[in-house]
Structure 1
Amino acid sequence: MAEAHQAVAFQFTVSPDGIDLQLCHEALRQIYLSGLHSWKKRFIRFKNGVMTGVYPGSPGGFMVVVVSYMSYNKYQQLDPSLGLISKLGQHMPISRYMSTDSQKIVGGVLVGTGLWVSIIMIMRSVLKSLLSWHGWMYTSHGSVAWSTRLWMVLVKVFSGRKPMLYSFQNSLPRLPVPSIKDTCKRYLESVRPLMEDERYQRMEGLTKDFEKNLGPRLQWYLKLKSWWASNYVSDWWEEYIYLRGRGPIMVNSNYYAMDFLYVFPTSIQAARAGNAIHAIMLYRRKLDRAQIKPVPLCSAQWEPMFNTTRVPGLETDILQHVNDSKHIAVYHKGRFFKVWMFYDGRLLLPREIEQQMARILADTTEPMPGEEKLAALTAGDRTPWANARETYFSRGKNKQSLDAIEKAAFCVTLDDTEQRFESDNPDQSLVSYAKSLLHGKCYDRWFDKSFNLIIFKNGTMGLNAEHSWADAPIVGHLWEHVLSMDPIKLGYTEAGHCKGEPHPNLPGPQKLSWDIPAEVIQSSLKVARTLADDVDSHIMPFSDFGKGLIKKCRTSPDAFIQIALQLAHYRDKKKFCLTYEASMTRLFREGRTETVRSCTSESCAFVRAMIKGETRDECLRLLKLASEKHQSMYRLAMTGEGIDRHLFCLYVVSKYLGEDSPFLKEVLSEPWRLSTSQTPLQQVELFDLVRHPEYVSAGGGFGPVADDGYGVSYIILGENLINFHISSKHSSPETDSHRFGGHIRQAMLDIKALSMRKGKLELSSVLPQ
């Protein structure tokens, strides 16, 4: 770039007259400001580490305890060291170096510090006990028991005045290991409606044999790990479910998040990028300072959100995280650019970022050899990518350019297509939008990056996120922040540009240099395109009714939707299937997810009654039982009593011991033909959907898990809208995403109609109060 000379701090030449040293004062000034920024960041991290380490205490509390202790002893004329200094004096010549008064002060401070630490440990133990109680989850809808109210008050008291994001980490309980007996019992209960009698009896025999013989031995090792490790599941889950997978992560693992459904803040691509990138960087600043509003849940997944890349390996990938990154990587029309996010010791403003994006959009240089479709390596199988990385990216300009991408805060794609919800063509426009975010052209997103921000030509945007480092609610929290900041707090001018003025001396983006043989990329691109073309996507905004009506039933909206999905699936395939619903386990330290097996005997009984046309009262009775069962299963999953992570870890232990378990092998090989997940709206205070119902997100989705199954993601927005994201594979003759979407809609309407008589809702009289 023309401004590159500003990056050179000094130049010198050697002549017969000596050395001629030429300093660039602007470059030295930028180096100074950059160093100052880094030291400020280190100090903030150190301070936050101290504050988190002594939580729920504080330095102010330390002063209060020590001064109060010293004052009390002075008033009572007692030795503030409680004889500590005298005992030390018997072994050390303290009196030579300190006067009697100094000895009293030092002794008082030492004993006061011990008292302060003891108070902290007691408060932390009490808080840990409080957070281990999950009785609040069993409170009936519409009422709060006195025990829950007391628990809430005590948690608030023992949480201290100003907890930070990571303050609760040391007070969270560890994930408990369920008993073998309970896990085996609940497993058989979950598969009973899915198996014929003969197959079930065979599975029952395998289960009892495992419970009696191999199971207890594996359980002993798992218990040992649970005592030693912070979480007995998460490290194995991350490694074996995500990082050791050798297939493509595009579609199979990565997921996406969409923009507003009905609002289009600006049609200027660079401007939308300016506000969105600035909002993301502000979120990173809050994360670095631990200023994100904390809740008593594990916050460990926030740490690798930025400056993180999944690096391919021959047998397993690794997550590479750097402490700080001052730049982002931008892709546009086959070229990669490195864009600095700081200048003059501060974060670039939205208009300045827009200026940088406009420069990239105006750049007409051609891609370098192998550059245009380079990112296809991240979309294909992992082993070829690992081999190519070792061969072509281990030295020279390829390594430098790859480092610029992998060590960037995050990646941005300035997409050259237009995507948007179109009211006159809702289905096709949303399908095109979803598939573009999920896989794009297979070479225009760096799928290994923790997340990619995608800005389309017409100003619409979205995210594509890698899954191994965190689960969707963490990315969702960031995305809610961005959507709330963009049109409301940051805003745009009447012409559609970011507010503010361009910077007159801002150095431009740096174009990255590559030299990669095109044939290296072809095999990965072919695999990725085959996978992408097979995705059958359908996005269904369901606005017939929403959470508002469901809540009048005095039941969980999630249970209502899951039961509707069971009815829809049976109508679609004429059979039931093993159903996966993700539930979080962040009530425990380093918790991630657990599976709610949503296909239960109770839900199957309700579905059969609906199919057979049983009486309305009978269907309502069975609906009540199915809803109660689902809520019970969800609570068990959240409180560490789920079965699937336990079974998974038992399987891992069996492999380490070289033991072959027919039971575990069969359990772990059972396909999830219906995989579901709710995208929760976490920061409801950011969106006033009553006054501004147009500010609703379209939600997000993921690819199908089984070749002959469906993936369903849904988000409940306000009182009257539920967005469904459905995926399957064109290659399967058993599935059709649009057909399944129609069945979901009809199932939702049928359950609603079941609950109504002459326009009056009556389900509340049947469901638990």
Structure 2
Amino acid sequence: MTSLVGLFRAVARPSFLKTFPRSEAKITVAMRGIMTQQNLPHLPVPPLKKTLDKYLRTVKPLITDEEFKITSNVVAKFGAPGGVGEKLQSLLEKRAKSTTNWFADWWLNGAYLEFRSPVTVYSSPGLVFPLQNFKSSDERLTYAAKMIAGALDYKKKLDEDAIPVEKLGKDPLDMSQYYKVFGTCRMPGLTKDTLHFADPNNPPRHIIVSHKNHFYKLIVYDDNNNILSWGKLLQQLNEIIQSAGEPGPPIGVLTAENRNVWGKAFKKLSEDRENMESLDIIKNSLFLLCLDGPNPDLGNLNFQTRAALQTVHGNGSEANSGNRWFDKTVQFIVGDKGEVGLTYEHSPAEGPPIAFLMDHIVNYIEKAPSDVAGGKSPKPEKLKFNISGKVQKVLETAKENVDKLVDDLEMSCFTLKAYGKEFIKSQRMSPDSYIQMAIQFAFYRIHNEPGAHYETASTRKYLDGRTEVIRSCSLESVAFAKTMLGSKSNEEKVKALQEAVTGHKQYTIEAVNGFGVDRHLLGLKLIAIENGMDIPTLFMDTAYIRSSHMRISTSQVSGKCDSFMCYGPLVVDGYGCCYNPLPNEINFGTSAYKSCPDTNAEKFRQALEKSFIEMHDALVSVQKSKL
């Protein structure tokens, strides 16, 4: 892995660089209503000195005093008047004046399209819907039909510009990501992928349903372009179930391969005319619905964890990993035991548009009217794939590789039942900052040291905004963890918690306003590379390397329903931790890699629960003492 690839893996979800042409990045997709947002401000370039001062403060907990002295000298030299930092800052400011978002093109390429490891586990999250208890195949297929209808109903609202503009306080947010979800597909390349978007002049009228590794084209609109009723959709799903026969070869696992390998296999597949037609039908579909088969014995894992694993990777080549097309932006998943949710390819959008889509579907399913479908529905079309000897060989290797991914990922998902965001609000604290400090505390409890900690902040208040990093590990968070684990009074523990929460909240405000550390520093490095300059010493210093090795990768993805998102860790010796704070409980999806002896998802879950309880008890004790 090149140093630049490693850099991107350290500061987001993976990878590499090349300027993405603006004509491609802007995307030809119907975006009614978005044009009214062209007056959104452009992403600012933060002042160099402020970023460097903030950077020193964020790295201090992660390095020794001697290392900090060295880093301070490196930073001082970098930021000196007339030094390399000022030169790079000037170049970055020049770039910002000529683009709507100086970071967006770099990010799409670096974090996604030139990342060559599999999207499965390493990049694409799973989103678990409220779990079901299907008592029959009819019940399951009815749910699936309503899920399709709910997604199409949401798309109709997008097409009619009926989705309200989100706001952060009084600031409207960029809504373009919402319009990049349907009809989008990541296309594999030999060294770099591309994004395919549906033609707005000839929008898709079909989806793909996968079952037993077979792929079917389903027309979902009538001749007048009205959405088919869920009853008619149910007819098509029943026909698929009845006609599927034996499982087909798990061709879908190719989409879980290394992107270069998949790019070569895609080229080979495309040499056959029928294959090319099938690939085009999948590429141009609105989304996938995966009707999954049974899963292997997963031992004592709870239902939430089972569902999380199924949405992230499908549990292997002999289970449901071949019943996927991981390149599609959205794949809805309906398991045979009630595991329901989706997996999404991350490059076009962050979590909020996907969570809004989920909430709409869940609400639609709950309120869907009775439907007695009259007349005949369109007949599903089974797609054909002819697998040559060369492709078969790649397919066998892909099966082995996806099984290795499946075997290595450990997840422990749970609901903290003790309390939720309403209790935290009653303590006059930010729920997100409070949860972040609990995660820091849990890590410190296990490892007896702080860990570099990534939390996603949205920069969508700016045109084409994506994300910034909230560096949750701080001097205050370390002091808080030490205080909680020491023999301090409850008053001292609460005071340390309040200070840590206040510090995190302040950093969050700066990050969502585009004034974090990571994107600015990364921009300075990339502009140096783009201009053929030497990479400054700052980016090879111990502090930068250690603070960018995000051992804790976290994100709040809030859904109104009983749901949670989940994904793999960013680094081998790290944890993934996504959460949905509900009024009286909090859902968590946590992960680790079994191949790392220092991390364990179940131990992290236990430490996290214990941390929440101890924080609660300290707060309640102090409250009682004041009565």
TM range (shorter): 0.7 to 0.9
CA contact (8 A) 1:250 1:447 kept: yes
After TM superposition, the structure 1 = structure 2 runs for residues 515-530 of structure 1, keeping only pairs within 5 Å, are 515-517=386-388, 518-530=392-404
| Deviation by residue 1:60-95 (Cα, 9 ceiling, x = unmatched) | xxxxxxxxxxxxxxxxxxxxxxxxxxxxxxxxxxxx
Residue in 2 that maps onto 1:414: 291
TM-score by length of 1: 0.72
Residue in 1 that maps onto 2:235: 355
From 67, 73, 87, give the equivalent of 1:205: 73
In structure 1, stretches of 5+ residues that fail to align are 1-44, 50-164, 492-498, 685-695
Q: Cα–Cα, structure 1 residues 405 and 656, in superposed 2: closer, same or farther, change >3 Å?
A: same
Q: Cα–Cα, structure 1 residues 459 and 615, in superposed 2: closer, same or farther, change >3 Å?
A: closer
Q: Secondary structure at the match of 1:476?
A: helix
| Deviation by residue 1:688-739 (Cα, 9 ceiling, x = unmatched) | xxxxxxxx4231111111101101001011x211011100001111111111
CA contact (8 A) 1:564 1:744 kept: yes
Residues 1:510 and 2:381 aligned together: yes
After TM superposition, the structure 1 = structure 2 runs for residues 55-70 of structure 1, keeping only pairs within 5 Å, are none
CA contact (8 A) 2:213 2:252 kept: no
Residues 1:582 and 2:456 aligned together: yes
Q: 1:403 is aligned with what amino acid?
A: D
- CA-CA distance at 1:758 after TM superposition: 8.1
Q: Secondary structure at the match of 2:210?
A: strand
Q: 1:317 is aligned with what amino acid?
A: D
Q: 1:504, 1:265 → 2: CA distance?
A: 28
Q: Cα–Cα, structure 1 residues 418 and 387, in superposed 2: closer, same or farther, change >3 Å?
A: closer
Residues 1:217 and 2:87 aligned together: yes
Q: Cα–Cα, structure 1 residues 299 and 633, in superposed 2: closer, same or farther, change >3 Å?
A: same
| Deviation by residue 1:649-678 (Cα, 9 ceiling, x = unmatched) | 111111112222221244367310011111
From 240, 248, 256, give the equivalent of 2:110: 240
Q: Secondary structure at the match of 2:216?
A: strand
Residue in 1 that maps onto 2:569: 704
CA contact (8 A) 2:490 2:622 kept: no
Q: 1:738, 1:413 → 2: CA distance?
A: 29
TM-score by length of 2: 0.88
Q: 1:758, 1:253 → 2: CA distance?
A: 43
Q: Secondary structure at the match of 1:755?
A: helix
CA contact (8 A) 2:178 2:353 kept: yes
- CA-CA distance at 1:634 after TM superposition: 0.4
| Deviation by residue 1:223-268 (Cα, 9 ceiling, x = unmatched) | 1121111111111111111111011110000001112147779862
CA contact (8 A) 1:419 1:460 kept: no
Q: 2:359, 2:589 → 1: CA distance?
A: 18
From 233, 241, 255, give the equivalent of 1:378: 255
Q: Secondary structure at the match of 1:445?
A: coil
Q: 1:351 is aligned with what amino acid?
A: G
Residues 1:388 and 2:265 aligned together: yes
Q: 1:177, 1:759 → 2: CA distance?
A: 44
Q: 1:480, 1:419 → 2: CA distance?
A: 29
Q: Secondary structure at the match of 1:501?
A: coil
Residue in 1 that maps onto 2:120: 250
Residues 1:738 and 2:602 aligned together: yes
Residue in 2 that maps onto 1:563: 437
Residue in 2 that maps onto 1:663: 538
Q: 1:480, 1:572 → 2: CA distance?
A: 35
CA contact (8 A) 2:79 2:85 kept: yes
Q: Secondary structure at the match of 2:260?
A: helix
Q: 2:600 is aligned with what amino acid?
A: D
Residues 1:404 and 2:281 aligned together: yes
Q: 2:586 is aligned with what amino acid?
A: I
- CA-CA distance at 1:569 after TM superposition: 0.6
- CA-CA distance at 1:480 after TM superposition: 0.7
Q: 2:368, 2:297 → 1: CA distance?
A: 22
Q: 1:699 is aligned with what amino acid?
A: F
Q: Secondary structure at the match of 2:333?
A: strand
- CA-CA distance at 1:395 after TM superposition: 4.3
Q: Secondary structure at the match of 1:756?
A: helix
After TM superposition, the structure 1 = structure 2 runs for residues 712-751 of structure 1, keeping only pairs within 5 Å, are 712-717=577-582, 719-751=583-615
- CA-CA distance at 1:418 after TM superposition: 6.8
Tell me: higher relative CO, structure 1 or 2? Use CA pairs within 8 A at least 6 residues apart: 2
| Deviation by residue 1:41-65 (Cα, 9 ceiling, x = unmatched) | xxxx99x85xxxxxxxxxxxxxxxx
Q: 1:254 is aligned with what amino acid?
A: S
Q: Secondary structure at the match of 1:231?
A: coil
Residue in 2 that maps onto 1:191: 59
- CA-CA distance at 1:215 after TM superposition: 1.3
After TM superposition, the structure 1 = structure 2 runs for residues 628-647 of structure 1, keeping only pairs within 5 Å, are 628-647=502-521
- CA-CA distance at 1:430 after TM superposition: 2.2
Structure index of larger Rg: 1
Q: Cα–Cα, structure 1 residues 249 and 278, in superposed 2: closer, same or farther, change >3 Å?
A: same
- CA-CA distance at 1:506 after TM superposition: 2.3
CA contact (8 A) 2:205 2:221 kept: yes
In structure 2, stretches of 5+ residues that fail to align are 1-28, 167-171
Q: 2:562 is aligned with what amino acid?
A: S
Q: Cα–Cα, structure 1 residues 603 and 265, in superposed 2: closer, same or farther, change >3 Å?
A: farther
Residue in 1 that maps onto 2:469: 595
Q: Cα–Cα, structure 1 residues 196 and 365, in superposed 2: closer, same or farther, change >3 Å?
A: same
CA contact (8 A) 2:133 2:338 kept: no
Q: Cα–Cα, structure 1 residues 308 and 749, in superposed 2: closer, same or farther, change >3 Å?
A: same
Residue in 2 that maps onto 1:298: 174
From 663, 666, 677, give the equivalent of 2:555: 677
Q: 1:178 is aligned with what amino acid?
A: P
| Deviation by residue 1:302-347 (Cα, 9 ceiling, x = unmatched) | 2211111000112211111012111011111121111111123221
Q: Secondary structure at the match of 1:343?
A: coil
Residues 1:490 and 2:368 aligned together: yes
Q: Secondary structure at the match of 2:127?
A: strand
Q: 1:755, 1:276 → 2: CA distance?
A: 42
Q: Secondary structure at the match of 2:456?
A: strand
Q: 1:744, 1:459 → 2: CA distance?
A: 27
| Deviation by residue 1:84-125 (Cα, 9 ceiling, x = unmatched) | xxxxxxxxxxxxxxxxxxxxxxxxxxxxxxxxxxxxxxxxxx
Aligned length: 575
Identity %: 31
Q: Cα–Cα, structure 1 residues 419 and 483, in superposed 2: closer, same or farther, change >3 Å?
A: farther
